[in-house]
Amino acid sequence: MALKTGDEYIQSLKELDLKAHVMGQAAGGLTSHALVEPSMRAVAQTYDCAHDPQSKDLFRVISPLCNEEVNRFTHLHQSAQDLVNKVRMQRHCGNLTGCCFQRCVGMDAANAVYSSTFDIDAATGSAYHQRFKEYWAWVQKNDLVVDGAMTDPKGDRGKRPKDQTDPDMYLRIKERRQDGVIISGAKLHQTGMLNSHEILIMPTISLRPGEEPWAVCCAVPTTAPGVRYIYGRQTSDTRKLESCRLDVGNPKFGGQEVLTVFEDVLVPWERVFMAGETAFSGTLVERFASYHRQSYGGCKVGVGDLLIGAAALAAQMNGVAAASHIREKLVEMIHLNETLYSCGLACSAMGQPTASGNYLVDMLLANVCKLNVTRFPYELARLATDIGGGLLGTMPAAADLEDPVAGPYIRKYLKAADGVAVEDRFKVLRFIENLVAGAGSVAYLIESMHGAGPPTAQRIMIGRQGDLEGKMQKVKSLLDLA
């Protein structure tokens, strides 16, 4: 059963019956929880797209691991075209959901772990790669959602993992046993964790000799004993709890972030893919980061398409669509968005095979892509806010529309262009508000800045990959310099 439908996926989550702390209370029944359900529906779209005649060819691919047709979100890239199709798929999902659809991190983690375990085995004679191949073939056959878990709390950022007052500030191997390892620690910013079946844990930094306990990569079921979940707040998130959906902004879908705690969790050896090999931790981190920075050239572009469309609709409803300054702003938004997409496609098209056989993006261009993502969506949001107008911050509650006293005044004074229903104007402005200042801004803006690493991380990688020495040598050769 390699290709679930959205409904089958939702049923599989119901069977997991995960529990979490949500806004100060222990909560179960998460698949119907008003704060969690919208994000679950966004993930379900990634399943339904594999059955939609309009998109299934993009979402389905034959896996060399299990020799079956699988969802591309579980695929190990076999060509540069696979990398390109990944970005195309992510833009499509962004167009459909207007939010984070939560399966990218696991896909990116899997591709990084696949090639990194191959390299570890080649250097040390370990058996990690075969373990991971067997594990990931099982993931593909069951069409599972895997949450990639990399970001540690880090504690005092001025100290290394071994120097922290609390060693759990970086997730670590606390104990080695005959039946596996005991891990302890936490992972922050876990996108879609409560919508996942599995967790693929990775180190978060390049580790040094003496830091072997923190060089751990392994897979844990989301139902594993000792794993605890604490749901993250988002701006305006309690609007999802209100009976009127008009004020939510995105009436169907949403994102999800979770603090995940690992309290003495047993991981069997067959699910351990790195256990102390510090020399390869940096390779794994850099490869994952590059894949995930490529991803932002697709998913953020897809959401950007919707923000541009909403801004254009707002201008039309306000009666100013023909104004030259509005047209210029919309063209600028399109230009910025397509530039991001171009970077995502470029680093994909220039991808090359690793020693393991799967393809890795051009790491320099992937980091250029993500560095642009730390800027351009903010400019798109600024322009959309400009076009949308001050009502984005002052619009009355949707419930007042039906109030016998306030309703008539709202319908009279918030009317704009002829033929435009006030309710429709509400919908468009609330959607823009959602993306630039509400719950949707977590995935669109905050993720754009910090997801896959903040701007400094990309600058460091661009400095490493930019080949300054090679560029200087070209000048020397051109000018006959010694």
Q: What is the set of active-site residues?
A: 100, 104, 191, 257, 292, 296, 299, 447
Residue 267 is given by DSSP the state: E
Separation of alpha carbons 7 and 461, rounded Å: 41
CA 446 to chain centre: 11
24-31 CB contacts, 8 Å cutoff, 24+ apart? 27/231, 30/194
Cβ(163)–Cβ(174) below 8 Å: no
Q: In a 3-state reduction of DSSP, which class is residue 277?
A: coil
- Nearest Cα to Cα of residue 174 among 165, 166, 183: 183
For CA atoms 426, 32, 5, 194, give the dihedral sign. Answer: positive
Separation of alpha carbons 7 and 41, rounded Å: 9
Cβ(141)–Cβ(2) below 8 Å: yes
Looking at the DSSP bridge assignments, the partners of residue 177 are: 180
- Nearest Cα to Cα of residue 192 among 149, 154, 152, 235: 149
Q: In a 3-state reduction of DSSP, which class is residue 12?
A: helix
Separation of alpha carbons 197 and 393, rounded Å: 38
Cβ(147)–Cβ(191) below 8 Å: yes
- Nearest Cα to Cα of residue 194 among 47, 18, 67, 21: 18
**CA angle in degrees (0–180, nearest 5) for 175-176-181:** 85
The response to whether 191 counts as a known ligand-binding position is yes
Residues 6+ apart with CB under 8 A from 166: 155
CA 395 to chain centre: 31
Cβ(252)–Cβ(237) below 8 Å: no
Separation of alpha carbons 429 and 394, rounded Å: 11
Which tokens go with 407?
């309703």
Cβ(149)–Cβ(190) below 8 Å: yes
- Nearest Cα to Cα of residue 332 among 313, 314, 311, 353: 311
Residues 6+ apart with CB under 8 A from 350: 80, 361, 362, 365
Residue 423 is given by DSSP the state: H
> From residue 122, how far is each of 129, 245, 333 by CA, in Å?
9, 55, 47
- Residues making up the binding site: 191
- Residues making up the binding site for FAD: 191
